């Protein structure tokens, strides 16, 4: 189970770069706030300049917040994302429907 730092510094950028057309088809900017050990804040642009930048870049269509422990569990079993959302473990603000497009791109 990778921590969020590993995911956002290595795995997600690699996934975006492997298929830029698929990433830009999402047509959104996401802000991730992962709290706890191994967490951080990242902006994931799947719009005009696909990639991952550390920190809040000032604009996001969708913001996703969770604990680092839940991030690890979710990356181990991606199907748990909706369950965690329903349990209130994942908080989504902005256009929540965009979050459903993420799994196809970032795994």
State percent of the chain over pLDDT 90.
73
CATH number at residue 25: 3.30.1050.10
Query: How many domains are there within the chain?
Result: 1
What are the tens digits of pLDDT across the range 84-99?
A: 888 999 999 999 899 8
Is the overall model pTM greater than 0.85, yes or no? yes
Contact criterion met (CB below 8 Å) for 17 and 106: no
Q: 87: closest CA among 66, 101, 105, 72?
A: 66
Q: How confident is the model at residue 11 (pLDDT cuts 50, 70, 90)?
A: very high
Q: What is the pLDDT of residue 107?
A: 62
Q: For residue 24, what are the CA distances in angstroms to 8, 19, 38, 60, 104?
A: 17, 9, 27, 15, 12
31: containing domain: 4-106
Mean pLDDT of 29-36: 97
State percent of the chain over pLDDT 70.
98
Q: What is the pLDDT of residue 21?
A: 92
């Amino acid at each position: 189970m990778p921590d969020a730092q590993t995911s956002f510094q290595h795995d997600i950028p690699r996934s975006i770069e492997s298929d830029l057309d698929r990433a830009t088809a999402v047509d959104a900017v996401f802000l991730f706030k992962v709290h706890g050990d191994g967490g951080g804040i990242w902006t994931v642009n799947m719009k005009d300049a696909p990639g991952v930048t550390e920190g809040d870049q000032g604009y996001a269509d969708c913001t996703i917040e969770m604990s680092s422990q839940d991030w690890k569990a979710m990356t181990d079993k991606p199907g748990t994302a909706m369950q965690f959302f329903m349990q209130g473990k994942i908080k989504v603000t902005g256009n929540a429907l965009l979050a459903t497009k993420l799994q196809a791109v970032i795994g």
